[in-house]
């Protein structure tokens, strides 16, 4: 289910201590004090899928946390996990340690009656120093485009930490790393589920990260909602006539 914001606020602006998100189909834009987030999420077989996305802010409106979790399965089973993520965000939102969110999500999946596995990416943006903290659990790397750069590139871990960064739900105690990078106004990020880049054409060719980056680059001078919709249009043209076996989610982010 899509979880409503607490307290109740306008859908396009997330104030202090707010949470927006869920696992239903969405085409939405959320703004916080530091970021603009444009979201597209579409389930492969209905209105409720296994891709879960959240945007949350801390009580002082300094931190914005974004989570994209790609859970194996659909329906009520995934909705229960979505609610668990919501509670985890609520409890941890005033801490910088996004990797602890992954540890909590790992325990949520481990507590499920049936085996459940997922990949996830967690980012936390601190407006006080323009620092972005990011952690992965077997998830595709975030794409980064500097405002004054020339291309999109993968945001990969550069730490020497001991984190295994394995998918969630595999082992009881899996360590996760956290890395960080400084961002500036106008820098953009793209989070996506593997169902988006693995979408096939009728001939079996996948959409791919290279094509995704090229479409996003062609929209560099336009706002996020246009870039989101143009990307989805290109995705649909690519996969027209082919069956879709997985959920697809794209989260475009710009530093304000």
Averages of pLDDT over runs of 10 residues in the chain (256 residues) are 41 86 94 96 89 95 96 80 88 91 90 81 97 97 96 86 87 93 98 97 97 98 97 97 93 98
Question: What is the per-residue pLDDT for 163?
Answer: 84
Residue 84 exposure: Cα atoms within 13 Å on the Cβ side: 20
Question: What is the per-residue pLDDT for 178?
Answer: 95
> What tokens does 182 get?
């400084």
Rounded to two decimals, what is the model's pTM?
0.93
Question: What is the per-residue pLDDT for 79?
Answer: 84
Residues 165, 176 contacting (CB under 8 angstroms)? yes
Under DSSP, is residue 108 helix (H, G, I), strand (E, B) or coil?
helix
> What tokens does 185 get?
């106004």
């Amino acid at each position: 289910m899509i979880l409503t914001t607490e307290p109740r606020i306008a859908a396009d602006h997330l104030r202090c201590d707010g949470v927006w998100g869920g696992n239903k189909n969405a085409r939405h834009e959320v703004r916080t004090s530091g970021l603009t987030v444009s979201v597209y999420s579409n389930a492969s077989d209905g209105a409720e899928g296994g891709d879960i996305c959240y945007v949350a802010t801390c009580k002082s409106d300094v931190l914005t946390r974004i989570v994209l979790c790609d859970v194996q399965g659909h329906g009520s089973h995934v909705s229960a996990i979505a609610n668990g993520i919501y509670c985890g965000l609520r409890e941890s939102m005033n801490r910088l340690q996004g990797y602890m969110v992954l540890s909590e999500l790992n325990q949520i999946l481990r507590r499920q009656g049936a085996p459940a596995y997922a990949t996830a990416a967690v980012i936390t943006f601190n407006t006080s120093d323009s620092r972005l903290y990011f952690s992965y659990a077997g998830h595709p790397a975030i794409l980064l485009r500097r405002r004054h750069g020339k291309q999109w590139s993968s945001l990969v871990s550069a730490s020497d930490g001991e984190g295994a960064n394995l998918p969630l739900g595999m082992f009881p105690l899996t360590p996760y790393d956290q890395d960080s990078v400084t961002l500036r106004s106008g820098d953009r990020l793209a989070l996506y589920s593997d169902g988006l880049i693995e979408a096939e054409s009728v001939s079996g060719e996948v959409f791919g990260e290279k094509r995704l980056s090229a479409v996003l680059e062609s929209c560099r001078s336009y706002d996020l909602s246009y870039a989101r919709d143009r990307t989805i249009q290109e995705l649909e043209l690519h996969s027209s006539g082919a069956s879709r076996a997985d959920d697809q989610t794209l989260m475009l982010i710009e530093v304000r």
